[in-house]
Structure formats: structure tokens, C-alpha cells
Amino acid sequence: MKNFRRLLGYAKKYWFQILLALVCALVSSLGVVAATYLNGVAIDYIHGPGAVDFPGLIQILIGLGAIYVISSLFQWFISRYANKVSYLVVRDMRRDTFHNLNLQPLSYYDNHPHGDIISRFTNDLDSVSDAMAVSITNAFSGIVTLISAVAFMFYLNVTITVTILVLTPICLIVAYFITKFSQKTFTRQQQSVGELSSFAAEIVGNQKIVKAFGREGLECEEFNNISDRLRKTATHAMFASAMVNPSTRFVNNICYIAVGIAGGIIAVTQGVSVGIISSFLIYSAQFAKPFNEISGITAQLQTAFASLERIFAVIDAPPQTSDIPDAMELHDCKGHVCFDHVSFSYRSDQKLIQDFCFEAKPGQTIAIVGPTGCGKTTLVNLLMRFYEVTDGAILIDGIDTRRITRDSLRQSFGMVLQDTWLMGGSIRENLTYGKPDATQEEIEQAAKAAHAHGFITRLKYGYDTVVSQEGGQLSQGQRQLLTIARAMLADPEMLILDEATSSIDTLTEIRIQKAFLKLMEGRTSFVIAHRLSTIVNADQILVMNQGNIVEQGTHTQLLEKKGFYYELYNSQYANS
């Protein structure tokens, strides 16, 4: 119920549309109930063979036609407003979910499959939207029908009405117990949907690797296993839910029989007309209709409740720690960076970086090398405050980064990563991602410096060519050149290059290195490199192993030591 109350909190902002839906439900349902009464009156106009009050009957039929037209029209209005409210509410929930996701630390994405997160945006929120639209329509119409039908029934005959009201709660009791039993299965069903979406997104996004290793059959088998688990949970959920509707209808049929028996007895003993008994039989069906409709969409409602739980789990996920109240903006950064006895670990039981000390002077190029898993990328994550240090401090221009706002800190860095990322949009939009107000001249200068201008102009639409992360119109090397141009255009005070030329041919790499040297002039730059030939001109080379600096110096100095760096370097070029 807590999640349901929160859903109502989203819906109350659209009280006017809800009020209109309620008014339409009132008109439509009153029309249906009034038509039922007129049906009984019309039957009583038929007294017997050759004894029919045709003038009165015709008037009733004309009135019934008008009522049904008006009722149908207002029923359409109910659906219209119900769908509008559901779409508006889900829009707000989707907005809040996405907003909170952007506030999450990177650790959240490390611990949650991306496909499952996307499933919450699509499958789960769509389930809520569909259930809301149907529920508003059925609930509003049902409430008005129940109240008005009971009123008309009491007006016609109290005894038969009491008989119906005594039997009706049995429907609610049956529905409650079955629903309570089946809710857990719907939660497991939605979890399985998220697992399937996550697996599908992973395999579809990495088809080259799947095909390269001939894993199509094995991945299909794994997909079938997940799909089969979803089938089992969905079958259990639907079976339990499907018990609600026939169970309530069984009770309704008993109620219908009771009405017929009671009506027959009263007709004989009290002289109640056939028309009134006929109206009662229809009223009993109308009285049961809302319960039948709700029970008919039980599966949809339970899926929605399970989805709400998953959606609010994202909305309620604690965001990353906020900047301290007196955090300062970083302006005119000189690029003096100091790691002061820094310790960090992703897990408390697995140490990574311990008592790390290092100083980078303004304008220096710092290369970071070492075997996989030694902590190179972790240093960058700490420097950008993607993660917070466990102990010690990182200082920029003598200021602890925790005293600097994250936005201004990150805007002081330009990043070019090994994994290229281009958003869906034009090349121009991608290049100006970090500097939206850049002029065309600035864009072209950055592209030329990154040796990307040539292939861009050869494209049919030039800088207006639309690209995407999955699109194949650009090679991997060309995509990486665009990310380099993007960093150059942003013109940051400091640079982070994480194996930034790994997908570029040797000739272009030499040109890019020259462009980088020009870009890095006067800027403190951190270069993570696996190909050691790219960092021979670095002012300092940090050689890392198991989270610690094991060697430090220039390329020449480190080779002369004939230590760990010497072994790394020669392992790459011994056969060259």
C-alpha cells in the first residue's frame, strides 16, 4: 500500500483531469443504471397478447436510445482522461527515475546490470501506465455504478437488495486471499523480465565478439534458459491470478440465482411485477460487474504493483554524497596535483591502493603504466571524484578536492577514453558536447588538430552527419578521432588520456601524438598507456603494481634502472 499511496501522490497533481473523468463516469454510469430501470418499465408496458401500450413503449425506447448514446460518449471521455492521467503520471515517474540515476555514483552502475535498469524505464513503467488507465476507467465507472445500482435496488425492493449485499462480500474475500498469495510470483516475474532484458542488451550490443568466438549457439541456449525461467514464473503468476475471475464469477452466479429465487417468491407472494424482477436481475449483474472487471485485470494490477516496487527502488536509491555546504568553485586552475597518502579499495575486504603519494607540477605530462589491475584507471576515478578516497586526500592547487564542487572539478579536465562514446546525433552535436556554444570555426580547428576534418568533410552531410553508438558508418578509429576532437574543443585546464590512440593506425597515431603535444602545452596531463612507445617524452612516468608506485622517473632514467619498467618495455619491443 505504501507504493500505491506514492503513486496517488503523483496522480494528485492532475486532479482536474481526474475530476473530469469522475464526472464523465457519473454521467455514463447513471445513464446505464437509469436505462436498466426503464427496461423494467418497458416490460411492464407489455401486459399480454394484444395488450401492449405502444405509445408508452415507443417513448421508453426513444429515451433508452438517447441514454445509450450519451452514456457511450461519456464512456469514451473517461478512457481519454484516464489515459491522459496515466501517461502524465508515468512521464513524471520516468523523469524522477532518470534524474535520480544521474545522481548515482559509478558504483551503482557497477552493481546493477544496465539492461535491468533500462527494463525499469520501459517494461515496468509501461505496466504501470497500462494498469493505471484501465483502473481509473473501471474504478470510477464501478464506484458510480455500485452506488446508483444499490440506490435503485432499494427503491424497487429492500428484501432482494439485502440478499445481494449479503452475498457480495464473499467475492471480495476470495479475491483478497488469492491476490495476496500470488503477489510474490508477480515480483519474481518482473525480476525475470529485467534479467532477460539485461542479457539481451548485452548480447545484442556485443555481437561482433559473440560471432568472433562462435558463441551464437551457447548464447541462444543461455537465452532460452532465462526465457524458460521467465515462462515458469509468469505461468505461476498468471495461474494464481486467473483463479480470481472465475472464483468471483462463481459467487456472482450464486448471487444471480438467489435473486431469481427471491424475486420469484416475492412476485408470487407480494405481486411484484415482472418488469421489476427483470430490472433486479440486470441490476445484480451490474452490481457484480465492477468486481468482475477488477478481478479480470488482477494480473495486470499485480504486475503493476511489482513494477512500482522496482521503480521506486531506483527513485529511492541514495544519491552520491553531496558537495559540502561551503564547497568552492575551481577557477583558473594551475594544474598542481598532489596525492597525499591516499588509500582506496572498491571492497572493504580487498585492498587496492594503499598510502599512495605523488605530486604533479603544473604543465607536466604524467604517464601511468603498469600491468592490468594495478590501479591505473582507479587513480583517474579518484582524481575526477567518481569515487571518494578511503584515507588521505587529493589536492589540486593545494585545495582538497572534497572541498571543490564536483562540476567545476570535472569541467577542469578533458577526458579521452579507450572506449569511445558517441551519442545519437550529428557529428557537430557530438563535438560540441563539452562546449555547446562553440563556433563553426572553433569546431573545424579542433577537428583539424585531431586529423578528423578530412574524413568528416568526405561524408555526405559533413558535420551534420548523424552518428550513433551502434552505427557502422564510422570506423572505430574515426570514432576515436572524434572523441579526441571533442576534448580539444573543450579546451580544459588538465587532460586525462586513457589509451586514447589504441584504435588508430600507426601513421595517424604519430600525427595525433603531435596534436596532443600541442594540446598538452601548459596543461597538466595524465596519460594511461599500454603501448609504452607513446609516453617516452613524458615528464614523469609512474610505474604501478598492485596499487603502489614501484618506480618513478623519465623514460631514460627508468630504462637505466633496469627494473620493473625495463622489463615491461622490453617485453613489448624485444622482437621489434
Cα–Cα dist 427/209, whole Å: 27
359 and 455 together in one domain: yes
In a domain, 136, yes or no: yes
- Top pLDDT among 504 and 113 is at 113
130 and 239 together in one domain: yes
Residue 515 scores a pLDDT above 70:
no
Contact present, 347 and 385 (Cβ < 8 Å): no
- Tens of pLDDT, residues 542-569: 888 876 778 888 888 888 888 888 888 7
311 and 376 together in one domain: no
- Residue 373 identity: G
Cα–Cα dist 263/345, whole Å: 78
**465 three-state secondary structure:** coil
356 and 300 together in one domain: no
Residue 194 scores a pLDDT above 70:
yes
- Tens of pLDDT, residues 132-158: 888 787 777 777 777 887 887 787 778
347 and 274 together in one domain: no
In a domain, 323, yes or no: no
Cα–Cα dist 435/433, whole Å: 6
- Tens of pLDDT, residues 447-499: 988 888 989 999 888 999 888 765 567 877 788 888 888 888 888 888 888 77
In a domain, 331, yes or no: no
Highest mean pLDDT among 26-30, 165-169, 260-264, 509-513: 26-30
Cα–Cα dist 375/368, whole Å: 9
φ, ψ for residue 539, nearest 5 deg: -65, -40
- Tens of pLDDT, residues 384-437: 888 888 899 999 998 999 999 888 888 888 888 777 778 778 899 989 988 888
In a domain, 108, yes or no: yes
Cα–Cα dist 21/13, whole Å: 14
pLDDT given for residue 157 in this prediction: 76
Residue 249 scores a pLDDT above 50:
yes
Cα–Cα dist 336/92, whole Å: 44
Cα–Cα dist 412/417, whole Å: 16
Number of domains in the chain: 2
In a domain, 324, yes or no: no
127 and 259 together in one domain: yes
397 and 438 together in one domain: yes
Instruction: Report which DSSP code applies to 550.
Output: E
394 and 517 together in one domain: yes
> CATH code at 492?
3.40.50.300
pLDDT level of residue 209 (50, 70, 90 thresholds): low
197 and 309 together in one domain: yes
In a domain, 328, yes or no: no
- Tens of pLDDT, residues 28-39: 888 887 887 777
Share of the chain above pLDDT 90, in %: 4
pLDDT given for residue 394 in this prediction: 92
Give DSSP secondary structure letters for 157-209: -HHHHHHHHHHHHHHHHHHHHHHHHHHHHHHHHHHHHHHHHHHHHHHHHTHHH
509 and 370 together in one domain: yes
C-alpha distances in Å from residue 210, one per residue of 204, 205, 217, 332: 9, 10, 10, 48
- Tens of pLDDT, residues 214-225: 677 787 888 888
In a domain, 362, yes or no: yes
The length of the chain in residues reads: 576
In a domain, 87, yes or no: yes
Cα–Cα dist 404/230, whole Å: 47
230 and 91 together in one domain: yes
Last residue of a domain, one of 285, 315, 345: 315
240 and 370 together in one domain: no
pLDDT given for residue 576 in this prediction: 47
Cα–Cα dist 91/155, whole Å: 45
Structural domain that includes position 182: 2-315
- Tens of pLDDT, residues 252-264: 677 667 777 776 7
- Tens of pLDDT, residues 296-316: 666 677 778 888 888 888 888
